[in-house]
Amino acid sequence: MDNNSAVLIPKIEPNDNSNSDGTVVEVKKKNKYKKPLLISGIIMAVILALLVPILLFYIQVKKVLGNIAPIVAGQSYESVDKIRSDFEIVRKNVADLKKSYVLISWMRFVPFLGKYVSDLGDGLNASVKIFDAGEIAFTTLDPLLLELGYKDSKEKETSEKSAQERIDFVVNSIPRIFPQVDQIVKNIQDANFYLSRIDPNDYPENVRGIPVREKLDSYLDKFEEASKYIARSKPLLESTPYLLGVDGDRNYLVLFQNDKELRPTGGFLTAYSIMKVRDAKFEPVTSDDIYNLDSKYKPWLPAPTAIVDLIKGPYILSKNIRLRDMNYSPDFKVSMDLFSKEAEKAGLKGVDGIIAVDTQLLVNLLEGLGEIGVPGFGNYSSKNDSRCNCPQVVYELESFADIEGPIIWDPVTGKIILKPPNSDNRKKIIGPLMNSILANAMAQPKEKLPNLINLIFKSVTEKHVLFYLHDQGAQKAVEDFGIAGRIVDYPGDYLHISDSNLGGRKSNLYVTQEVEQEISVNGDGLIQKTLTLTYKNPEKHDGWLNSVLPNWVRVYVPKGSKLIDSSGLEKQYDVDEDLGKTVFSGYFKLRPEGVSKVSFTYTLPFKKGTGDFKILIQKQPGVNAPLYIVRSQKSEEEFLLNTDKEIKIKL
């Protein structure tokens, strides 16, 4: 070693284990695994805090589903007793589930998961309100349901009551249920509030092949629709004593609309009857053919251009509207305001309102009653008749009226020069047929009443029966319940298609309609729609029922919509405004065994907003559930239009 080399001596520095003099103090070493173990423990505790409640709640859910699955699977019940017992089972299980929800309710504040936990809570709260409403309804309506055959009596009845006696009991009981209706409506509205906070768009479209979002959206829409019916039921119930003549006689003009010769309010006004109602007892007074009434009327109001263009006949000489064609407005009240005022000039006075019915009501009633006999005229039923591929009652009515041929007018004088023997004597069958239907309905045994009542309700809600009343309170009640055939105001997108058969015999017996809507949005947010209407007539020409159909089509859309293009019309009329809507219209001719397509491309008067795009589609009275398809780039809806329907679609 070189003497000049430096020697490196390690320097001892004081540390945590040393005293100031450098001596080492023995201490315990820190555990390097303590911190990771602590973190792992916290994570495990959080996982357990989440998993254990979820697991316990899942076990309860599985138990509840096991209890109610057989009930949900059986959707058709023959007796309210069965419904009531199932109702109690489901109610108890949902109550148990709500108690178990406490285990996970705190998770409402957990990111991502919280939304679904909140929705579950809202769903359970809504269920409780629905069951509360159901309990009140069962308790209140039990006696009425028993009388109408919806419930089995625990005690044998000493005497069999007539259907009329049962109806009398129900009508007289209605005032006693008003207070309970308020509470039922309140519970349903509360339930609707909870359900309205659930957004189906927060859920996946499909889970293991199940369309979760679509099903949830459908359930919520159906409940909202049902809740509206319930909320609107009280004014209608309050008007029932007036409508049924409990507080005084009522005289109604019953208009028979032939839906096989379609017109805007449901069909051609073929005949009429005066019906007297006293204490819920219906009595036909007189009936007659519309042509006989029209012969007493002097036309003076201009007819719509399409009626003049297509019907010709009496309109060659005079272009003024006849009584039988006055239901040209698709708004039933507007049409009846005109018809009732002008019919008074022909001697039709002293009625409290108008009830319009079509042949589908007869078919539905005969479906519930079975075959009935009409003295002097034979038997009638809803069974298919191979001679027309239509219900037998429809064939017989048409056969009786005009099997001999059409009505022909002199082009110079406008007078009828040829007509079938029975064309002005339909009253021969209308009166007796009505009497037989009423008599058979009142003679039905208790166990058959529920099905008959359901068929009547179906006919009314599907617009095969329409009401127009002179009493303002009663009129408002039927309007609010949606059975007055009104064209309504709506803040969003809107569509109503009005078809009129103006000289195509009874071809609507065979014609079907399909409606497609293609919706797109441009870069500025402007909404463009292409509406395609497809009409098909698969049957052969027979010159009697089925012939070439001259169809006047009017499309009602939001006011301010702009027509871009159209196709398929033989003649297109100018864009017009009516009933607060913009109207595109024209006519085309559909031949037997033919297909016609008509399309309109237009823009809406508003731009795309946030959230779902809503459309109200109003069904034309007298038609049977046309197929609708609504498409956008993001979604598609397909359905049969049985009643007015509001849909939501993504743009």
Give a yes or no: residue 299 inside a domain: yes
Tokens of 244: 């049924």
Q: What is the CATH number of the domain that holds 510?
A: 2.60.40
Among 188, 223, 243, where does a domain finish? 243
- Position 351 scores a pLDDT of 96
**Token pair 């100018």 in the structure block, residue:** 574
Q: What separation in angstroms does the CA of 220 have from each of 183, 194, 225, 376, 418?
A: 21, 11, 9, 52, 57
Q: How confident is the model at residue 6 (pLDDT cuts 50, 70, 90)?
A: very low
- Position 591 scores a pLDDT of 97
- Position 228 scores a pLDDT of 81
Give a yes or no: residue 556 inside a domain: yes
Tokens of 602: 């237009």
- pLDDT, mean of residues 216-231: 81
- Shared-domain flag, residues 356 and 314: yes
Which position has the higher pLDDT, 549 or 159? 549
Give a yes or no: residue 279 inside a domain: yes
Q: How confident is the model at residue 4 (pLDDT cuts 50, 70, 90)?
A: very low
Give a yes or no: residue 4 inside a domain: no
Residue 226 half-sphere exposure toward CB, CA atoms < 13 A: 11
The average confidence (pLDDT) of the chain is 84
- Quick: pLDDT tens for 90-138: 888 888 888 888 877 887 888 888 888 898 889 889 888 888 888 888 8
Q: How confident is the model at residue 283 (pLDDT cuts 50, 70, 90)?
A: confident
pLDDT at residue 56 greater than cutoff 70: no
pLDDT at residue 341 greater than cutoff 70: yes
Give a yes or no: residue 390 inside a domain: yes
How far apart, in whole angstroms, are the C-alpha atoms of residue 397 and residue 293?
A: 20
Residue 114 half-sphere exposure toward CB, CA atoms < 13 A: 7
Instruction: Give ∠ CA 223-225-229 in degrees, rounded to 5.
Output: 110
Amino acid at 370: G
pLDDT at residue 226 greater than cutoff 50: yes
- pLDDT, mean of residues 495-519: 96
Among 208, 228, 243, where does a domain finish? 243
| 467 closest CA partner among 347, 359, 356 | 356
- Shared-domain flag, residues 581 and 433: no
Q: How confident is the model at residue 57 (pLDDT cuts 50, 70, 90)?
A: low
- Shared-domain flag, residues 202 and 177: yes
How far apart, in whole angstroms, are the C-alpha atoms of residue 170 and residue 141?
A: 10
- pLDDT, mean of residues 318-339: 97
- Position 3 scores a pLDDT of 47
Print the domain residue range for 518.
Answer: 493-649
The burial of 202, by beta-carbon neighbours within 10 Å (0-12 exposed, 13-18 middle, 19 or more buried), is given as exposed
Element (H, E) at 649: strand 645-649
- Shared-domain flag, residues 229 and 261: no
Tokens of 304: 């719509």
Give a yes or no: residue 178 inside a domain: yes
Tokens of 179: 């207070």
**Token pair 């769903």 in the structure block, residue:** 123
- Shared-domain flag, residues 323 and 460: yes
Q: Cβ(532)–Cβ(515) under 8 Å?
A: yes
| 380 closest CA partner among 339, 343, 432 | 432
- Shared-domain flag, residues 503 and 474: no
Q: How confident is the model at residue 9 (pLDDT cuts 50, 70, 90)?
A: very low
- Shared-domain flag, residues 238 and 306: no
What is the percent of the chain with per-residue pLDDT over 70, rounded to a whole number? 82
CA dihedral 521, 522, 528, 534 (to 10 degrees): -80
Q: How confident is the model at residue 534 (pLDDT cuts 50, 70, 90)?
A: very high
* φ, ψ dihedrals at 633, nearest 5°: -70, -20
- Position 7 scores a pLDDT of 44
- Position 319 scores a pLDDT of 95
- Shared-domain flag, residues 97 and 219: yes
Contacts of 360 (CB under 8 A, 6+ apart): 259, 459, 462, 464, 622, 624
Q: How confident is the model at residue 31 (pLDDT cuts 50, 70, 90)?
A: low
Q: What separation in angstroms does the CA of 362 have from each of 296, 321, 424?
A: 29, 29, 21
How far apart, in whole angstroms, are the C-alpha atoms of residue 53 and residue 103?
A: 5
Amino acid at 69: A
- Shared-domain flag, residues 333 and 461: yes
Q: For the chain, how far is it from start to end, CA to CA, in angstroms?
A: 91
**Token pair 């316990």 in the structure block, residue:** 56
Give a yes or no: residue 23 inside a domain: no
Among 459, 480, 501, where does a domain finish? 480
- Position 51 scores a pLDDT of 59
Region of 127 (left: φ > 0; alpha: ψ -120 to 50; beta: rest) is alpha
Select the highest-mean-pLDDT range: 135-144, 216-225, 351-360.
Answer: 351-360
- Quick: pLDDT tens for 363-376: 999 999 999 998 88
Q: How confident is the model at residue 523 (pLDDT cuts 50, 70, 90)?
A: confident
Cβ neighbours, 10 Å, residue 4: 5
pLDDT at residue 271 greater than cutoff 70: yes
- Position 584 scores a pLDDT of 98
How far apart, in whole angstroms, are the C-alpha atoms of residue 325 and residue 332?
A: 13
- Position 404 scores a pLDDT of 46
How far apart, in whole angstroms, are the C-alpha atoms of residue 249 and residue 171?
A: 15
- Position 69 scores a pLDDT of 59
- Shared-domain flag, residues 517 and 599: yes
- Shared-domain flag, residues 311 and 452: yes
CA 199 and chain centroid, separation:
22
Contacts of 274 (CB under 8 A, 6+ apart): 251, 252, 253, 254, 284, 285, 286, 287, 351
* Least confident range of 34-48, 121-135, 318-332, 561-575: 34-48
Give a yes or no: residue 2 inside a domain: no
Number of domains in the chain: 3
Q: How confident is the model at residue 222 (pLDDT cuts 50, 70, 90)?
A: confident
- Shared-domain flag, residues 137 and 211: yes
- Position 648 scores a pLDDT of 86
How far apart, in whole angstroms, are the C-alpha atoms of residue 180 and residue 33?
A: 68
- pLDDT, mean of residues 522-527: 90
* Least confident range of 37-51, 300-314, 379-393, 521-535: 37-51
**Token pair 């009240």 in the structure block, residue:** 333
Tokens of 72: 């949900």
pLDDT at residue 49 greater than cutoff 60: no
Q: What is the CATH number of the domain that holds 269?
A: 3.40.630
- pLDDT, mean of residues 527-556: 96
